[in-house]
Amino acid sequence: MIKFSKHNLNQKTYKDVINVMKSGWLTHGKFTSLFENELKKFTKAKYCTLVSSCTAALHISCLALGIKKGDEVIVPAMTHTATAHSAEYTGARVKFADIDYKSGNINIQSFKNLINKKTKAIILVHMAGRSCDMKEIVKICKSKNIKIIEDCAHSLGTKYRKKHVGNFGVSGCFSFYPTKQITTGEGGAIITNDIKFYKKIKSLKQFGIDKDITQRKRPGEYDVGYLGFNYRMTDFQAAMGYQQILNYNINLKKRQEIAKRYIKKLNHLNGITLPRFNKNDSYFVFQILIDKKIEKLRLMNILKNSKIGISVHYGKILPEMSYYKKKYNFNSKKFISAKNYADRVISLPVYPKLNNIEIDRITKILKNIFT
């Protein structure tokens, strides 16, 4: 069986995790700081804090920006529900923008059409490790005083014009879910270049407390300045992530090599649209678009029966999810590209342990269907 994803943990990682467990210091420990520092180096951000998930990262990013009831936050219609939920948690109204069919990223004109006096922020998603058009988006947001939160759940290692994503807005939010480029089981991180914002999110992730346990002169000496949450990452999770980020350039290079091989093997087929190779993309997955929905369903069944793991990012647009449909009653005709994308997209596996024999087995099945 070819799995959809496999973690990339080495023996040193297992040793580090065991040592944390033996130490008895299971949170706010050495590896939390080590992992945060390496993430700062890798992304070239000034500040970084680890959290319990990317959802937590997005949520407290919204809170730290003061997003509240009466505000509006623009989100792409094609994304994981956590992107929109994070704004909903604050009481703000979510407005969905259509996407660009070729990239899966937010459509600039659709975004511009939604802007009004209530628009407080936009939460961007760099779909499957492909960067949004940040030059144009930053220009629009600066002119309208709209804050940018980047959902980088798919995009550790993705760059736009030599700059790592997550550095264009106030906040860059990353996911370390098991299928992501690196994993801590569950977990996430926030990067920022704003010291005031950093201090606020660091407090919000730990109940609103102003000092973590390593900063207190005496036990119990702290103040609570905000209504915060317990969104901290454990130190043994940080130990899992630490070795992976140290070796991530090797991981990233392998992902790009896999993408090149998929393109080489599939680029002549009719009925499939492939992404162009981009050395700045991190290839969380390799997304293909099947021209006909009925062929997508047939392909998915064949791959499943052939014991090949695949996924779909995503199979249904957020405006059609029951919660958002009942609350806002969005007109689905406004999201034509997003609906077409959902109907036709398939995510093929990409991970360092995926070998050429396995890639060729996957592509052979596609060739048999589309030639």
pLDDT digits (tens, 9 = 90+) for 187-207: 999 999 999 999 999 999 999
Q: How far apart are CA 319 and CA 119, in angstroms?
A: 18
Q: What is the pLDDT of residue 214?
A: 74
The domains of the chain, with CATH numbers, are 11-246 (3.40.640.10), 248-370 (3.90.1150.10)
Q: What is the pLDDT of residue 333?
A: 87
**pLDDT tens, residue by residue, 220-271:** 788 899 999 999 999 999 999 999 999 999 999 999 999 999 999 999 999 9
Q: What is the pLDDT of residue 213?
A: 74
Q: What is the pLDDT of residue 216?
A: 75
- Round the average pLDDT of the chain to a whole number and report it: 96
- Smallest CA-to-CA distance from 87 within 114, 63, 54, 112 is with 63
319: left (phi over 0), alpha (psi -120 to 50) or beta: alpha
Partners of 148 in the β-ladder: 122
Give every residue of the chain whose pLDDT is below 70, as ranges: none
Q: How far apart are CA 22 and CA 16, in angstroms?
A: 10
Structure tokens at 4: 């959809």
Q: How far apart are CA 332 and CA 56, in angstroms?
A: 28
Q: What is the pLDDT of residue 28?
A: 82
Residue with tokens 């799995």: 3
CB atoms inside a 10 Å sphere around CB 8: 19
Q: How far apart are CA 243 and CA 262, in angstroms?
A: 28
Q: What is the pLDDT of residue 71?
A: 98
Q: What is the pLDDT of residue 350?
A: 98
Q: What is the dihedral of CA 19, 24, 30, 32, to 10 degrees?
A: 100
* Stated pTM of the model: 0.97
Q: What is the pLDDT of residue 352?
A: 96
Residue type, 307: K
Q: What is the pLDDT of residue 187?
A: 98
Alpha carbon separation from 330 to 77, 97, 264, 268, 326 (Å, rounded): 11, 11, 40, 39, 9
| DSSP-derived secondary structure letter, 122 | E
CB distance 97 to 228 below 8 Å: no
| DSSP-derived secondary structure letter, 335 | G
